[in-house]
Amino acid sequence: MVKKVNDLVEAKAAKFAVIDFSAQWCGPCKMMAPVLEEVSESISDVSFFNIDVDEARNEAEEFSVMSIPLLVVLKDGKEVSRQVGFQPKENVEQFIKDAIK
C-alpha cells in the first residue's frame, strides 16, 4: 500500500522507504500510481509513501524536486537513490531492489 502523506516524518523513520513525489495535474504521475501500488504489494520490507509537491513545497524543496514523477529511496532516513519519470513495474521493482541492497 502506498500511503498518502503531507510530510516525510514517517518515511524518514522507516528502515527503507520509497517516496513518490507527484502532483494531481501530472499525467505520468497518475500512470505511476497503480504501478507503485502493485510494487508495494510485492516488496514487503519497504514502506511506500506519496506526497503531492503542490501541497508539500518544503519537502519538495528539501529533496530538490525538479521533475515529477520522482521516486526517492531512503535507507534509515537518508537518500540512496532516485529515479525520474514513468517506468513500468519491472523497472521500478529492480530500481528499488538495487537501491536497498
Indicate which residues carry an active-site annotation: 26, 29
Estimate the crossing angle of helix 89-99 against helix 27-42, to 10 degrees.
60
Q: Which of 58, 44, 42 is nearest to 5 (CA)?
A: 58
CB 98, CB 81: distance < 8 Å: yes
C-alpha 69/C-alpha 83 separation (Å) is 8
